[in-house]
Structure 1
Amino acid sequence: MPLPSPALVRSAPFTVPRLRLPFDAPPTRPDAEPLRARAIRWGERHGLIGPRGSARLAGTSLLGLGVALAGTATGAGASVVVDWFLWAVVLDDRVDDGPWAEDGALDRFTAAVEAITGGRGGRPADDPMLAALADDLWPRTVALGDAAWVERLRGHLLRHLDAQRELVRARGTAADLGVEDYVRVRRHAFGALVFFDLIEAGDGAAHPAAACRSGCRDALRERAADVVSWTNDIHSVAKDAVLGERFNLVTVLARERALGVQGAVDAAHGMLVAAVDDFTAVRRRHAACGSGVARRLEQVMGACAEWHRTASRYHLRAGGHASAHTGEVTPTLKSRQFEVDPHPLYALLRTTRPVAYDEPTDTWLLSRYADVRAALTDPRFTNANYGWQIAPLLGHSIVSMDGREHAAHRALLTPAFRSRALALIQASITEVAASLVGELRGHDRADLVTAFATPLPIRVIARVLGLPADTPEQVDRVRAWTGVGFSYLANYRQDPGLLTRGPANRDDFYDYLQPHLDARRARPAGDLISAMLASTVDGRPLSDEYVRGCCAVLLTAGSETSTAGLANLVVNALDEPGVRDAVRRDPAAADRALAETLRRDAPMQLVLRQTSEAVELPSGAVPAHATVACLIGSANRDPERFDRPDEFDLDRADGIDREYSAASSHLSFGAGRHYCLGAHLARAELTTGLRVLLDAFPGLRRPPGPAPAPTGFVKRCPPRLDVLL
């Protein structure tokens, strides 16, 4: 049976052949580790990788392939090859992981690379990859060869980016590529021809474009490029199939030739063997003019094959590649599918791999309710992960604390969100919601994400802190800060653009915030900033650094997740039969509607933890010092815990107040000692907002036509919510 499109989530078992090429990898360099360490420092210095990426590269074999490609090159040549490899890996991750390359981003990136390499400048200041290329990598590269070699390299680099763009466009449409077109595009998209140029110059032997009239060098390079890219495709087939990747040699062959999985794998392997044979035949025919080039290309093919045999990300299980099944493959958090619709992947994980290791992100995935709740309540699952998630931005804050330290700092903040303080906040919530509704009057339609769900929680949490956020301009300014801050916190894919924008965004926010801290220190008021400035822990006052970081955390968490929760709540009130009328008849029904929204449509789909020691969970073991993704969105729809988990049931909860406590059945506010500090505030905001909205517009409804689906990798909600008022 042909592979289905867009996704093959299950298949009959198939055999992935052990690819043994008749070529040896280059000898191991004696300076391999220093060369790898130097490249990591280079990536850190230019903002291509953060602490998480540095640790990942230091602990895996990924950069080992870049070092192997450097061969016996010395000095500047070797470092240029390895730095280019790191640069290309980061770019490949950005293109393949999530939505970065969409909406023209890759087109703009390509245009900037063309300008930089053509000597016309033009790098956007906020993209560290382009800055590294313009300021460092390209100047060092052009020093390795003459003008003709530089122009050939530049041509291959731009064709590589154009091929990537072609694949991105094809993925975004229903268009398919036939085998012939795919081979052409893949040859350039993999980037092998770029590295063949770099390797030649790194070796100090950049050659003319053609050594003989028959074009033997180009023929050798093209065959070698096919070998290394198809080697990658064959090793990646199970991973690509389960993630719905249509552009893999195996899946293209299956689609075009109506082959089953095993037949397509065998056909791809046959093409690979034929390409090796063609390479060998060309080398024999042109031994006099291409032997040096051929020998180096053989080493590259050998190094790539060896790396794919040993790299853990290409092994379906510890036993190797003898037998494979897409049901054995862990969907990676880097998949675009988690942005579009994660629930089929959640179901696959719960059924086949409830405790699974995701190699590309170096993360253990927990998808069943019992395991996620255990992780959220077991003190062996710590907040140490925030050491790379948020500490580089905000320092040591309450989100990165555990144990007694966390308890002490939480105790300072809890009164601001409970009892008498919450009653005062309730009045503010009602006032803000009424004001926003007033601004909607007189309009026939609106986008409630922009006009209601976003400004309501921003204005409320800003008032709690004591910051001005009443005008649209003030709301927009806070929204810009919290949006970047949340993206930095949720940057599990470690996109370098977000790593770079985070500190600049923080500095801008802190510059705005400091005068407010100074004013409250001189004249305290009844807000949370004043309370923090007057508080002590272990007899010591809180530092301005800590208070600034705490304000950033509370403002971001108190607005971003509440915006998503309110948008999802309104969607369910309008789309689920009987919910809107139930809320209008009985205001208490809003609490039930919110509890079920939080369960079925969690605004936060996952949180991370880190184990302090090995832990045995109900579904399996997690090793010590592991990063763990608690998949809240999956746990909340676990059929072992909830009957009919994908359905919206307004009367599902037994005790409604319980659903807003640490004993809640859903896990959207967490559980245990780190249960959401602002859960009661969120409840008040979202239920009040819904009731005020429906009271003001009893006929509120969706306009005709399809509505935008919810999206998001971490925070999940519709990007807009168009309604008729």
Structure 2
Amino acid sequence: MSTTDVTARSTQPTLDSILAWLRQARESSPVVHDETQRVWQLFGHADILRVLSDPATFSSDMSRFIPPQADFELFSRGNFVRMDPPKHRKLRDLVSQAFTPRMVSDLVPRIAALTDELLDGVEGAGRFDLVETLAYPLPVIVIAEMLGIPVADRGHFRGWADTLLSRSEQNPGLPDDAAMNRLAPTLREMNGYLLAHIKERRARPADDLISKLLRAEIDGQRLDDEEIVGFVGLLLIAGHITTTALLGNTILCLDEHPAAFAELRADPTKLPAAIEEVLRYRPPFPRLARRTTSAVELGGKQIPAEQLLILWIVSANRDSAHFEDPDRFDIHRKPNHHLSFGYSIHFCLGAPLARLEARIAMEILLERYRTIAVARDDRVEFQNPWSMISAKRLPVDVQAAGAGD
């Protein structure tokens, strides 16, 4: 089955239309060769988990499938998401010296203060755009401050993210020449901006993450400036949009399930489990890619070496062979082994930060507002769900706690 099947039915695909297509594909053949796109598509939790668990057979290095482009190659030097061991381990270990659990936990007071400041900006308003007011600025300010780059430049960061993650076509494959040419100017601008800040910190170190990355050392080896560009760019772009998506998706899920919303309002200690269910139910990134390094059998299909695999995470998270009643939103789901943050060596390094930001923001929203509802007479705008499962604009109606008492 090809993605063109669902594209033909919907020129403006919705998450529901994609989920319906994925359900049909998963039930008919969990592993299928898409001859139109020249990729293998995987839909089942077990097969996708196997791929993510075996980086030797299923490589994250996509360089041979992507046309050579200097700006992309510079960005890729420190982007360990697209690396295999042993280089992946070396870079991740170096980055982990600077990006520590302690650094994340120390952000709790700042995340809470920022959430309050941002919501103070719409104090008294009965309606506001949750994305513009909170879900976008909160994580991007946190990351910018953590890195030591100007928060005032966050408009640039949003523009870069919109360009790098947008795609107009329903194609699960990797960028072709035309796409790389479209992305090159944005990559060049972002790389140059970050490299300038890294060089400035090398000359004048401070107490920020970039300075700590410059000091990180294993066996006498340190990261060079160009390697730091890749990690910082990844954290800046993927880091903030993950939390933006997670916050918006949490409100959307709870709005659709008012009993769960009421339960969390009565007992906010259940928020961590609810956030995990949001991640399963509406994962920010719908898919991942891998490359076969040797011939392998998956789902009863013989797949040759050097094939591109598209792993549909959003489908794995709805697989009835792994999750009971998978299309039901259940904040009590246990266990909840979703794959939204990846698995094994490539498990998302920023997952604890995204979870923390979402939990603190939701606690404060529940404390401030006695009701939060998606505005029914206004327009919710979504990202293209082939690339991101996230709201771009999310108007909400709120009633302040204590109002009318």
TM-score (ref. length: structure 1): 0.50
Q: Which residue of 2 aligns with 1:499?
A: 180
- Structure-2 separation of matches of 1:347 and 1:467: 43
Matched, 1:670 2:349: no
1:483 equivalent among 162, 181, 191: 162
2:120 equivalent among 416, 438, 454: 438
2:47 equivalent among 371, 379, 389: 371
Q: CA deviation at 1:640?
A: 0.9
Matched, 1:426 2:108: yes
Q: Which residue of 2 aligns with 1:635?
A: 316
The 8 Å contact of residues 614 and 624 in structure 1, kept in 2 or not, is answered as: yes
- Structure-2 separation of matches of 1:391 and 1:240: 26
Matched, 1:245 2:5: no
Q: 1:338 to 1:625 in 2, by over 3 A?
A: farther
Q: CA deviation at 1:391?
A: 7.6
Equivalent residues in 2 for 1:187-586, closer than 5 Å: 242-243=5-6, 245=8, 337=13, 341-379=17-55, 380-386=57-63, 388=65, 392=69, 393=72, 394-397=75-78, 398-469=80-151, 471=152, 474-487=153-166, 492=173, 494=175, 498-536=179-217, 539-586=220-267
The 8 Å contact of residues 268 and 363 in structure 2, kept in 1 or not, is answered as: yes
Q: 1:686 to 1:706 in 2, by over 3 A?
A: same
Q: Which residue of 2 aligns with 1:68?
A: none
- Structure-1 separation of matches of 2:91 and 2:4: 47
- Structure-2 separation of matches of 1:613 and 1:521: 42
Q: CA deviation at 1:573?
A: 2.3
Q: CA deviation at 1:587?
A: 2.4
Larger RCO, structures 1/2 (Cα 8 Å, 6+ apart): 2
Tell me the SS of whatever aligns to 2:357.
helix
- Structure-1 separation of matches of 2:110 and 2:2: 50
- Structure-2 separation of matches of 1:623 and 1:495: 22
Q: 1:605 to 1:343 in 2, by over 3 A?
A: same
Q: Which residue of 1 aligns with 2:389?
A: 716
Matched, 1:703 2:379: no
Q: 1:580 to 1:415 in 2, by over 3 A?
A: farther
The 8 Å contact of residues 486 and 556 in structure 1, kept in 2 or not, is answered as: no
Q: CA deviation at 1:369?
A: 0.7
The 8 Å contact of residues 446 and 722 in structure 1, kept in 2 or not, is answered as: yes
Q: Which residue of 2 aligns with 1:294?
A: none
Task: Indicate the RMSD between aligned Cα atoms, in angstroms.
Answer: 2.7
Q: 1:591 to 1:683 in 2, by over 3 A?
A: same
Tell me the SS of whatever aligns to 2:396.
strand
Tell me the SS of whatever aligns to 1:625.
coil
Q: 1:526 to 1:486 in 2, by over 3 A?
A: farther
Give the fraction of aligned pairs with identical amino acids, expressed as a percent: 31
Q: 1:689 to 1:621 in 2, by over 3 A?
A: farther
Q: CA deviation at 1:539?
A: 2.8
The 8 Å contact of residues 389 and 491 in structure 1, kept in 2 or not, is answered as: no
The 8 Å contact of residues 365 and 629 in structure 1, kept in 2 or not, is answered as: yes
Q: 1:350 to 1:449 in 2, by over 3 A?
A: same
Q: CA deviation at 1:567?
A: 0.9
Matched, 1:685 2:357: yes
Q: 1:505 to 1:707 in 2, by over 3 A?
A: closer
Matched letter for residue 649 of structure 1: D
- Considering only CA atoms, is the larger Rg found in Structure 1 or Structure 2? 1
- Structure-2 separation of matches of 1:483 and 1:240: 23
Q: Which residue of 1 aligns with 2:401?
A: none
- Structure-2 separation of matches of 1:400 and 1:702: 37
Equivalent residues in 2 for 1:55-94, closer than 5 Å: none
Give per-residue Cα distances to partners, 1:89-125, cap 9 Å, x unaligned.
Answer: xxxxxxxxxxxxxxxxxxxxxxxxxxxxxxxxxxxxx
The 8 Å contact of residues 367 and 630 in structure 1, kept in 2 or not, is answered as: yes
- Structure-1 separation of matches of 2:288 and 2:249: 19
Q: CA deviation at 1:479?
A: 0.8
- For structure 2, the 5+ residue unaligned runs are 399-405
Matched letter for residue 647 of structure 1: R
Q: 1:706 to 1:433 in 2, by over 3 A?
A: closer
Give per-residue Cα distances to partners, 1:337-380, cap 9 Å, x unaligned.
Answer: 47672111111111112110112222110101111111111121
Structure showing the higher helix proportion among its residues: 1
Tell me the SS of whatever aligns to 1:360.
coil
Matched letter for residue 109 of structure 2: A
Q: 1:496 to 1:240 in 2, by over 3 A?
A: closer
Give per-residue Cα distances to partners, 1:474-517, cap 9 Å, x unaligned.
Answer: 322211122223348x9836476642232211222233333422
Q: 1:487 to 1:643 in 2, by over 3 A?
A: same
Tell me the SS of whatever aligns to 1:461.
helix
Give per-residue Cα distances to partners, 1:211-256, cap 9 Å, x unaligned.
Answer: xxxxxxxxxxxxxxxxxxxxxxxxxxx979943737xxxxxxxxxx
Q: 1:491 to 1:536 in 2, by over 3 A?
A: farther
Tell me the SS of whatever aligns to 1:402.
coil
Tell me the SS of whatever aligns to 1:642.
coil
The 8 Å contact of residues 376 and 672 in structure 1, kept in 2 or not, is answered as: yes
Q: CA deviation at 1:632?
A: 0.3
The 8 Å contact of residues 386 and 399 in structure 1, kept in 2 or not, is answered as: no
Tell me the SS of whatever aligns to 1:427.
helix
The 8 Å contact of residues 608 and 629 in structure 1, kept in 2 or not, is answered as: yes
Q: 1:390 to 1:562 in 2, by over 3 A?
A: farther
- Structure-2 separation of matches of 1:363 and 1:462: 37
Matched letter for residue 203 of structure 2: A
Structure showing the higher strand proportion among its residues: 2
The 8 Å contact of residues 59 and 84 in structure 2, kept in 1 or not, is answered as: yes
Q: CA deviation at 1:682?
A: 0.9
